[in-house]
Structure 1
Amino acid sequence: MNYYIFDVDGTLIDTEKMYMLPLLKTLRSNGYDVTYQDVEKVFGITASDALKILGVQEVTAVQKQWFGQIKNYLNEARVYDGIIETLAKLHADPNNRLAIATSKIESEFHRDVTRFGLDDYFDTFVFSNEIKHGKPAPDLILKGVEKLSADPQTTIYIGDTVYDLQAAHAAHVAFGLAGWRTAKTGALADSDYNFKRPTDILSVNLSTDFK
């Protein structure tokens, strides 16, 4: 592989609680009888899609309340161990080009990613406001392929959810599962690669042990 496109939430950064705790609080304050397990299931897709799946009627109003609470949970986010080392080595190889394709809008990206310095390792970025359809549609990844001028045959999208897997395969690129967060079970069994830790990505061209 020479083209590496990464998801952010649950892949580069553990932001689950940062997003899901304020969502849970917001939904309960609006009378929705939900558990953390309910909201956890929609982690990783666009906010509006997540709220619709959860049966929210006033999506715009609830999303505004939810996002207004996130600033109180920023300390819940952290970069996964091994991510910086992996990105630095991939970026240092002149044969590689790296992109981020995320369901975040650009302002959320700067709030969540720039503060950790991760954007320094990437050549380009794709945000949800640039495309028409969020994951599991392939739009984000196809835009990443376009921006990188990538060959889909040597492109891999790395993410942690079934939505990421479906989007990658719909875009006709390989999918690498962020196994440091999500186990390769059930709907994720079709993952092309199963990386147990971030540094495993560095060996993707050398071995098929991660299948």
Structure 2
Amino acid sequence: MPLKTPTIVIFDMDGTVVRHLSPWVLHVLERLDDAWYTAARLFRWFGRRRAQDPILPPPEEMPPRRKPRLLVHRAIHKVRRKEVDQIVEPCPGIYDVLELLKSEGIPVALISNGLGQGYGEDIVQKFGLDQYFSATVFREDIRKSKPDPEALLAALSHLQITPGQDDAIWYIGDRHKDITAALALESHIPAQIVPVAYGVNAAVEAVKKGIGPEHIIMSYYDMHARLEKLMNAAGRDKQNTRELDSPANSSALAPRPSTPAAKARK
């Protein structure tokens, strides 16, 4: 199925708009993202449980706990001590895509399940991304992480847009949970949802979900070319519609009154 020209675009941040210079940093952040989502589900389960018996034994009956390892905490601390541009860099070609969307007046939002607003805002400001994104959503703005679509709904809310049936919302992400979140959004709003898989991880999930290859991109140069093609085609369609609806064209198509000479020929 051919892609529909976007009217709203939402980007994931980590691994999609910016990429990490050190693979281990990205690995830590992704693990934190997974742990956050798993913990949130666990706490919701505890909240729903209404059993009479205690879930855990009394404190005096519990075995002594071993001191937890602090590798993750040390990794986070090490990340936070560095400047943003020592940790991440914009993905190649992303500015070209953002400039194109901006020139077309398409609203664009940015979401992240990463280290939160401080980390996210530092990236946005450092790389001049604030001129492209009309709304941002970070960890503090949501209760449920992806693959729940709450972050996407929050982005639409921050954009102050109520999507309709004529809207096409593109969501670009690099992980399997991004594809799942985009598909989950379909049941919440009437607009057409267009998941766009950026990179191998998301592409594998897109294939599993039966999403066509036109929804997969491996570089933003490819995405820029596709967007230009779609927008040029949409522009031609609008121009043709305007020409058909123009008064001059209507006059040309209207039946002309018969003249005396024409009546004589008949």
1:160 to 169, 174, 179: 174
Shift of 1:45: 6.2
User: Which among 87, 94, 102 is matched to residue 112 of structure 2?
Assistant: 102
Q: 2:221: which partner in 1?
A: 199
The answer (yes or no) to whether the contact 2:111–2:152 under 8 Å persists in 1 is yes
Counterparts in 2 of 1:135 and 1:62: CA distance versus 1, 3 Å: farther
Structure 2 counterpart of 1:31: none
Could you say if the C-alpha distance between residues 128 and 76 of structure 1 is closer, same or farther in structure 2, counting changes exceeding 3 Å? closer
Q: 2: distance between equivalents of 1:65 and 1:102?
A: 22
Question: d(CA) in 2 for partners of 1:50 and 1:146?
Answer: 22
Percent identity, please.
Answer: 22
Q: Distance in 1 between matches of 2:133 and 2:169?
A: 15
CA shift for structure 1 position 200: 3.4
| Secondary structure of the corresponding residue to residue 184 of structure 1 | helix
Q: Establish whether residue 68 from structure 1 lines up as the match of residue 86 from structure 2.
A: no
In structure 2, what is the Cα distance between the partners aligned to 1:13 and 1:182?
A: 16
Q: State TM-score, norm by structure 2.
A: 0.58
Go from structure 1 to structure 2 and tell me whether the alpha carbon gap of 1:9 and 1:80 turns closer, same or farther (over 3 Å shift): same
Provide the residue aligned with 1:151 in structure 2: 163
RMSD (CA atoms)? 3.2
| Other structure's SS at 2:171 match | strand
CA separation in 2, counterparts of 1:160 and 1:197? Answer: 11
| Matched-pair contact (CA < 8 Å) for 1:45–1:163 | no
- Opposite residue 36 of structure 2, the aligned amino acid is D
C-alpha separation between the residues in 1 aligned to 2:216 and 2:94? 15
Structure 2 counterparts to residues 1-211 of structure 1, below 5 A = 1-15=6-20, 17=22, 20-21=24-25, 39=27, 43=30, 46=33, 48-49=35-36, 64-71=73-80, 74=84, 75-94=86-105, 96-104=106-114, 105-148=116-159, 149-151=161-163, 153-172=167-186, 173-179=193-199, 182=201, 184-185=203-204, 187-189=205-207, 190=209, 191=211, 193-202=215-224, 203-204=226-227, 206=230
Where does the alignment leave 5 or more consecutive residues of structure 2 unmatched? 1-5, 40-65, 187-192, 232-266
| Bigger Cα Rg | 2
CA offset at residue 143 of structure 1? 0.9
Write the distance in 2 (CA, Å) between the matches of 1:68 and 1:146: 33
TM-score by length of 1: 0.72
Q: CA deviation at 1:110?
A: 2.0
